[in-house]
Amino acid sequence: MGYSGARGGLEAILAAEDLVRRKRDHAPAPWASTEQITARFRLAVDRVMGEAGLYDEPTAAAAFRQAEGDTLEASHLLRAQRSTLPRLAVSEPVDPDEMTVLRRIVPAFREPDGPQLLGRTSDYTGRLLERPEGPPQPPPETAAPGAAAGPAERTEAQRRPGRFLDLLRKNDLAVEGRTADDPEPYDITRKPARPPAERSAVLAAMARAESGALVALWYRSVLGPDGDVHEITLGELRHGRLPLRVRHPHTGNPVAVGEFRVTEAEAVEDLDGADEDRTRFDVGYGLCFGHNERKAIAMANLDIANRRFGRSGPLEQLLLLTIDGLDSGGFLEHLKLPHYVTFRSMVERKQAMRAAAEAGEDPPARVAEPAGKDCR
């Protein structure tokens, strides 16, 4: 794969970059501050952090602003920024049960252990466009009569409810996926994962995947041959804060240095295979940075599908090799670069084949061109 630069290309490139900066930095509207972006475009910032694999809201907001709202480009900028940072420590494993829950729904059970916390969501609101006039209004100081308790009124037990999966285990309805050993998670940031891969590698790849690609792959995996949707159930969905701990360099004790938000999902699937335990359910798991429920739900369902049908097969290959936004998007973006020499050689082959056909001769054999021939 090669490229051919046009004459005067450097001057044109610099002018194009200057045009981007002038249009972005001198727009008629006021400059959006980092605080404004994190507050007003929180879901976009969370998506950028998840796809970049770096949790830092101010930096993600700056990347989102520089990319002019292009989340894939912002993720690229953030991942490039991450590559310049030293790795000072490795965080300690954290138990998801430590999560301080901000939102928790259990679609599979009417009365789960603990409350249903709707949290901040528009799932139950009609999709009607609002056009607010004037400056934003401050929130009311008092809640309306009969309104649900606010976040400050939740107890510690309500913020850390039991799990729906524990209820399934209590009733012996879930396949046990836990093992006696605890293998070290696969670090895809240091070594690319290739099939067959460990479950932790597949989950890590999905956690950094481009959200739209992951949802599309999930949707295709649940569609039957006639377009019917296979029966799927979302067991539990959570969004909350987890502590970040590292080892103190002098004492060696774990120390909490901050916290980060995650979205966690557990999907339930009925086992009906000939060699499967049909008396139990399988449970898939998904966890990703920020508030990104679509990605977490798709992860949990694809986790089950991959373990049931995809090991070392087409699904695992897709999950490991095609859903990374920077990989797939980068390959697509490179098509906009000059390919003059490559296409010229294709045209010459067509002309040679046509001339051979008109002369009644065999078409010329295709000879592989040396690598890098088009790079000029």
Residues 201 and 265 in one domain: yes
Which of residues 105 and 184 earns the better pLDDT score? 105
Determine if residue 8 is left, alpha or beta; phi over 0 gives left, psi from -120 to 50 gives alpha, anything else beta: left
**Half-sphere exposure at residue 65, Cβ-oriented, CA atoms within 13 angstroms:** 18
Q: Which among 84, 24, 322, 56 is positioned nearest to 48, based on CA atoms?
A: 56
Could you tell me what percent of the chain has a pLDDT over 70?
88
Which tens digit of pLDDT belongs to each residue from 96-148?
999 999 999 999 988 888 889 999 999 999 889 988 776 666 666 554 555 55
Residues 49 and 115 in one domain: no
Residue 3, pLDDT score: 46
Residues 31 and 109 in one domain: no
Q: 338, 5 in Cβ contact below 8 A?
A: yes
Residue ending a domain, among 83, 106, 139, is 83
DSSP H or E stretch at residue 48: helix 42-52
Residues 232 and 302 in one domain: yes
Please tell me what DSSP assigns to residue 337: S
**Half-sphere exposure at residue 89, Cβ-oriented, CA atoms within 13 angstroms:** 14
Residue 372, pLDDT score: 47
Which tens digit of pLDDT belongs to each residue from 7-44?
567 888 889 899 998 888 887 878 889 999 999 999 99
**pLDDT reading at 375 higher than 50:** no
**Half-sphere exposure at residue 275, Cβ-oriented, CA atoms within 13 angstroms:** 2
Residues 191 and 297 in one domain: yes
Q: What is the tally of structural domains in the chain?
A: 2
Question: Could you tell me if residue 339 is inside a domain?
Answer: no
**pLDDT reading at 4 higher than 50:** no
Burial of 266 (0-12, 13-18, 19+ CB in 10 A): buried
For 113, the domain range is 96-119+157-178+185-323
Which of residues 273 and 196 earns the better pLDDT score? 196
Question: Could you tell me if residue 368 is inside a domain?
Answer: no
Residues 171 and 263 in one domain: yes
- List 217's β-bridge partners, or say none: none
Question: Could you tell me if residue 305 is inside a domain?
Answer: yes
**Collapsing DSSP states into helix, strand and coil, what is residue 249?**
coil
Across 215-222, average pLDDT? 91
Is-above-0.75 flag for pTM? yes
Question: Could you tell me if residue 372 is inside a domain?
Answer: no
Burial of 349 (0-12, 13-18, 19+ CB in 10 A): middle
Question: Could you tell me if residue 300 is inside a domain?
Answer: yes
* Residue-wise burial string across 204-243, b where 16 or more C-beta atoms lie within 10 A, e elsewhere: bbbbbbbbbbbbebbeebbeeeeeeeeebebbbbbbbbbb
Which tens digit of pLDDT belongs to each residue from 298-321?
999 999 999 888 676 789 999 999
- How far, in Å, CA of 296 to CA of 238, rounded? 9
Residue ending a domain, among 83, 105, 127, is 83
Residues 115 and 251 in one domain: yes
Residues 229 and 107 in one domain: yes
Residue ending a domain, among 323, 339, 360, is 323
Q: 245, 256 in Cβ contact below 8 A?
A: yes
- 3-class DSSP string for 173-193: CECCCCCCCCCCCCCCCCCCC
Could you tell me what percent of the chain has a pLDDT over 90?
54
Residues 162 and 76 in one domain: no
Question: Could you tell me if residue 342 is inside a domain?
Answer: no
**Collapsing DSSP states into helix, strand and coil, what is residue 256?**
strand
Question: Could you tell me if residue 343 is inside a domain?
Answer: no
On average, the pLDDT of the chain sits at 86
Residue 347, pLDDT score: 95
Question: Could you tell me if residue 341 is inside a domain?
Answer: no
Of 16-20, 27-31, 164-168, 333-337, the poorest mean pLDDT is in 27-31
Residues 245 and 279 in one domain: yes
Across 199-223, average pLDDT? 94
Residue 134, pLDDT score: 64
Residue 214, pLDDT score: 96
Of 77-86, 157-166, 174-183, 186-195, the poorest mean pLDDT is in 174-183
Residues 204 and 60 in one domain: no
Residues 269 and 318 in one domain: yes
